[in-house]
Structure 1
């Protein structure tokens, strides 16, 4: 997942997008393994999301103790019931692998994973069967004499999906609200009205509307315990005034220009100057743990102010 996150980084910029990946959400599920049987609990998957691709990532070890053989076959089965036997499942795919190599093998199991998510009761896991050319079974686990650490896992299910919010421009009820709502530090609330007695920020150093730094440190706001990366990012903010007349550099909308004219002529006491706000926003990607301790890579839209204008 760290490799996937690194692949989203835009060279030379803090902005990280999932344009190079499938969908805007990637989840990694660690399997509950019992030999060749691997089960993945997908109950944390949101029903509002659409599965784009699902991959079983299985780590294969060099099988040097099987002398005289150069290749072996791996059959991947969807288990249909509790009896863990290959003939009781649907064959998903078969692959011929060399004996003397070690590394991650990736299998496309999109159809099976999609069915599990739509109908959780049908999820009985995956059975991975390894056979020699003669048809003899054998266990493709660690080599003889090797010790496997308890925290190590040789099978992961990686699901790429979309939550329907990419490019929607919607904020209220967005994934950021839903996922982060329970992460607000104790004693605060994300919907508390700002005090009317709080003095306004001093923007005298910014004469006219422009972009200024605004670094968000996830440690300081209490999110470092569940956000893996980044540790923080520059969201930027828009500061300064929108004085009459609005020049071209202020990126004013037609509505803002008309509003500034009405304000300058004092035609109404209820009309104020246009506001300096972000007019171009970029997303960032967050790598974090969800409530089930699964690793999630998700793109959140409208997180970085790229430019400011008078609106």
Structure 2
């Protein structure tokens, strides 16, 4: 029997060790990256702040929001979503639902199931675009107005004779434009009992000495992109009735005496550009010396929230992001007039500086004025929603 050459043994041992390490590696489960859990927790807290229960699908069809909703956003907010006309809206949520019936020019149906049960109905508007009349009968030359009536259908669309009159008005035969009908009571009933929602039925007639003429005008229906901007809408103004006590930054706030290092949430999605604490406490004397610098005094700093970076840009229509700002700096005596310090904060800073009590810390640098933020977005059923969030942007800072 032939013997193996001596140089072969080390090579065999290396192969055997490699095979054993490969089998062990396959047997051991992959350990989760701790950064993944931190990122998931941060994004979950952010969803809670924005009161979003279900995220829309990752891939949305090419869809334009109703022009009415875009115009409403531009009226109440600037390009960054910051409220510039407080009190203009009724409530803090505006939901728009588009007509789901594309054939019958009399019937309009809106699926309002996306409205949350906790929301308080304030107002409902049925918005429909009346088209200019193109074909005129001999009698209509002498007529200038028609009577438009809006009904609630009491049964399915196959039985339009069972209906209840909601509103009626006289309209010009020879003009076109949006008509808005208040349908608050009817829609409130639908919210309480979704099975009673069979939609609206609308008619247009005029009466002359020669008799009654029906369908003297028509209302726009969505038949492609050309008339999509004229598609009928049901617009609901509601109050969310939810207290938002969460902080926008999904991390614990640190005191002014902590050392800060600039960092971002990594792993491919930078949630926001801000400062995170390293938890290394400096001595009180060093903090007092640093506080005398104008740069270290309590002041406002930028905190930009980028919706593209966190993967929300596909369903948020406006804005692309916004600057929330945050407050940073020390509030040690003497507190200048620019620090907006309260009397209590002034006394506290004196006690802290004179070391009259070892348990007293410096006053905190916090926002003393906040503005609300507005988002226009698609919900998980592709309805356009305009929502106002209170206390989202720090406009000034002070010592408290």
| 1:96 and 2:174 aligned | no
Residue from 211, 214, 223 that aligns with 1:148: 223
TM-score normalised according to structure 1 size: 0.81
- Segments of structure 2 that go 5 or more residues without pairing to the other structure are 1-68, 251-265, 282-289
Measure the CA separation in 1 of the matches of 2:392 and 2:310: 16
Measure the CA separation in 2 of the matches of 1:208 and 1:19: 35
Paired residues for 1:1-311 under 5 Å: 1-9=69-77, 14-33=82-101, 34-35=103-104, 36-68=106-138, 69=140, 70-133=144-207, 134-138=211-215, 140-141=218-219, 148-149=223-224, 152=228, 154-164=231-241, 170-172=244-246, 197=278, 206-311=295-400
Report the secondary structure of 2:136's partner residue.
coil
Q: CA separation of 1:3/1:164 partners in 2, compared to 1, >3 Å: closer, same or farther?
A: same
Report the secondary structure of 2:311's partner residue.
coil
Deviation, 1:85, is 4.5
Which structure's residues are more often helix, by fraction? 2
Contact persistence 2:80–2:322 (CA under 8 A):
no
Deviation, 1:269, is 4.3
- CA deviation profile, 1:142-201 (whole Å, cap 9, x unmatched): 69xxx9326726311011111235xx7x51499xx9xxxxxxx9998x9xxx9874789x
Q: CA separation of 1:173/1:281 partners in 2, compared to 1, >3 Å: closer, same or farther?
A: closer
Deviation, 1:86, is 4.7
* Count of residue pairs the alignment pairs up: 294
Q: CA separation of 1:74/1:21 partners in 2, compared to 1, >3 Å: closer, same or farther?
A: same
Deviation, 1:131, is 2.3
| Residue matched to 2:64 | none
Report the secondary structure of 1:32's partner residue.
coil
| Residue matched to 2:41 | none
Q: CA separation of 1:173/1:161 partners in 2, compared to 1, >3 Å: closer, same or farther?
A: farther
Report the secondary structure of 2:87's partner residue.
coil
Measure the CA separation in 2 of the matches of 1:83 and 1:265: 80
Report the secondary structure of 1:305's partner residue.
strand
Q: CA separation of 1:172/1:135 partners in 2, compared to 1, >3 Å: closer, same or farther?
A: farther
Report the secondary structure of 1:284's partner residue.
strand
**Worse overlay, 248-257 or 70-79:** 248-257
Q: CA separation of 1:40/1:148 partners in 2, compared to 1, >3 Å: closer, same or farther?
A: closer
Measure the CA separation in 2 of the matches of 1:199 and 1:158: 53
Measure the CA separation in 1 of the matches of 2:337 and 2:86: 33
Measure the CA separation in 1 of the matches of 2:84 and 2:191: 28
Contact persistence 1:282–1:302 (CA under 8 A):
yes
Contact persistence 2:107–2:157 (CA under 8 A):
no
When the two chains are superposed, the root-mean-square deviation of aligned CA atoms in Å is 3.6
Structure (1 or 2) with the larger CA radius of gyration: 2
Report the secondary structure of 1:7's partner residue.
helix
Contact persistence 1:18–1:285 (CA under 8 A):
no
